[in-house]
Amino acid sequence: MNEGINNVDIKMGPTTKRIFNLNKENLLKHYALIVNKASSLSSVQRKTVEYRIGYGLKHKSISVEDIEDSLKDLSLFVAKKITDQINSSVDDDSTEEQQ
């Protein structure tokens, strides 16, 4: 009676399918962007990422520490980019003053 349950063919769009094919590392990166309101994903994709994160937490394939680390990595990346831009503009200003 239940023999067809393992062969269920779920129809989903290509963008949703891409989210389901993300590895854990990229899934966590997208989640960090979503939390920081910096994601370029569609609303359906964002909800799918959030669903997968919730599912992972519930089934212990993703830990809270994984999420915290991902958020910290994104914050460090953004801080480094800002620092690099500031340093670059300061270097440009000092070069212009010397000329």
Ordered DSSP codes for the chain: --TTGGG------HHHHHHHT--HHHHHHHHHHHHTT---S-HHHHHHHHHHHHHHHHTTSS-HHHHHHHHHHHHHHHHHHHHHHHHHHHHHHHHHHH-
Full-model pTM:
0.74
Tens-place pLDDT, residues 25-52:
999 999 999 999 999 999 999 999 999 9
pLDDT at 3 over 80: no
